Amino acid sequence: MMCANFGNLEKEIERLDAAGIDIFHIDIMDGSFVPNFGMGLQDFELIRKATNRLVDVHLMIQNPGNYVEMFADIGADIIYFHPEADLHPMRTVDKIKAKGKKAGIAINPGTSIAMIEELLPVIDYVMVMTVNPGFAGQKYIDSVDEKIKKLVALKHQYAYEIFVDGAISRERIEVLSELGVVGFVLGTSALFGKDQSYAEIIKEIKGEE
């Protein structure tokens, strides 16, 4: 949602909702873990109140475990955090689950599977960053595909699903879907700032008649 038109955010939510998107994805940044500031609590609350669809929050912040309860209480359905920014990631997963929410980890392009493998049995989602997090409009990092393939192979031992975030074009969706990715965070590469309506784009991406 950081790529949406903030001049009329409520109308954007209405159009996206009507277009049939599955989840509203909200980036929270602290200017420390990533070199940028993202959306705020008021933005999150506005989006949560304006839709009945799932809303997730992507915590690109230091010490994310300190904020899990707050985002759970204001309506996040899925909470992603970066283990790279958390001294006690297993505790953070426990906090998310204790609130009855889905737990996801987001991992940077340079983060290895070995660094997060102990978390795989207890999470619901792995969101692989395919750009260095913090800014929209970056170039897709091709070397991440190998990590995605390995995570797809591992997921059959556990119960998580794989999402991707960063420079996700329609062409990337086709390729990554075949690899086993089920969720795609859409930004300027596929959805926002296009000549087509959101409804037309989503219909084409989903392959609906």
**Residue 73: partners with Cβ closer than 8 Å, 6 or more residues away:** 99
Residue 27 among the catalytic residues: yes
Contact between 82 and 108 (Cβ < 8 Å):
yes
Report d(CA 90, CA 86) in Å as an integer: 9
How long a stretch of residues is the chain?
Answer: 209
CA 29 from chain centre, in angstroms, equals: 13
Q: Distance between terminal CA atoms of the chain?
A: 26
Q: Is 119 left (phi over 0), alpha (psi -120 to 50) or beta?
A: alpha
At position 132, the amino acid (one-letter code) is: N
Residue 152, C-beta contacts closer than 8 angstroms, at least 6 positions apart: 162, 179, 180, 181
Spatial separation of the C-alpha atoms in residues 3 and 10, rounded to whole Å:
14
In the annotation, is 43 catalytic? no
Choosing from 17, 27, 73, 195, which is the catalytic residue? 27
Catalytic residue among 43, 56, 124, 165: 165
Which residues are catalytic, by number?
A: 27, 165
